[in-house]
Structure 1
Amino acid sequence: MDSIYRFNAQLASGENFSLESLQGKTALIVNIASKCNFSVQMASLEKLYQEYKQQGFTVLGFACNQFGHNEPLEGNELKAFYQQHFDVSFPIFNKVLVNGPDAHPLFNYLKCHTRGIAQNRAIKWNFTKFLINSEGQLVARYAPRTKPETLKMVIESNLNDETGLIQCAKV
């Protein structure tokens, strides 16, 4: 069964992170940028993480500088910024490309399995969100304007879904 578990990514600390370690967890993958107007969503993402982490939920923040050059930070600066300004405790990853020929393979996978605005596969801006079920499969893609707190019901439904069926939501 195809899933995100075959991918690895580098954390802001420089450590390698195997997405295989997420087996059995529901995850929200977000491309983030510290200077983006949507960065205020980081506080809401942390709140979701704190509310549901004991039930097997996590958030993964992937720094990206492709949109408006809104991510000038690198490495440990990324983690420190998000901890200082938003008290973030979920994993923050080093900068990745989400579009183009050098896009991170995880984002190529996510784009290949869903479409965004106007049925386009490309990611259009920072804070695009991808919900992954406990089987490592993409459930839904959400636009940058989608506020994290509005995803509570779909997160809860995936946390409570023991059948392993993918529940799709189009936004």
Structure 2
Amino acid sequence: AALAAASARRGRFGGGWRNLRSQDETRTYGTYGGTDGDHEVRYRPTRDGGYEVTAPEGVRVVAAAPDRVSLETAGVVRHFDVTAYADGTVHAGPHRLAARPRFTDPREQTAPGSLLAPMPGTVVRVADGLAVGDPVTAGQPLLWLEAMKMEHRVTAPASGTLTALHAAPGRQVEVGALLAVVQTGERPEAQS
């Protein structure tokens, strides 16, 4: 699937071989309904217009076109008809694959209610008396960041409970750094 996609790209945009190669191309695919995890393919274009697979080892590219790829493994040549769909699904021979994104969005890797740094900067201060376990209301200022000589207020996105606080005055943060987590939902009522 990766070689068919590369071949289609090469056909649209011209050659792809360079005298000074920077790194291998990498594509990752997962199988539908399978439990064998993701499969990563690393390859590079060659001078003759073909491709060389660098991982997994022991695979030689016989031919690669946008709709058909021929591979040799242990002396056996196998041909795969490849069909790619707009939703990211790829059928390569009898295999149904899902293309994995090359770059993941940091927000997808965080828990709901996570407050991420909107810019690089320095934590100037944290709201007075703010501690993990405290109730917070939507829009309540939790901390302040200094970036480009301006202070930026970071507020609670919703009402709930502060379940984590990773910000401390003087700490340098990068874009996307986890500052705090506000868990929304019903709080247990006080018992009498």
Say yes or no: TM over 0.5. no
Q: Which has the larger helix fraction?
A: 1
TM-score (norm 1): 0.25
Q: Which has the larger strand fraction?
A: 2
TM-score (norm 2): 0.23
Structure having greater relative contact order (Cα 8 Å, sep ≥ 6): 1
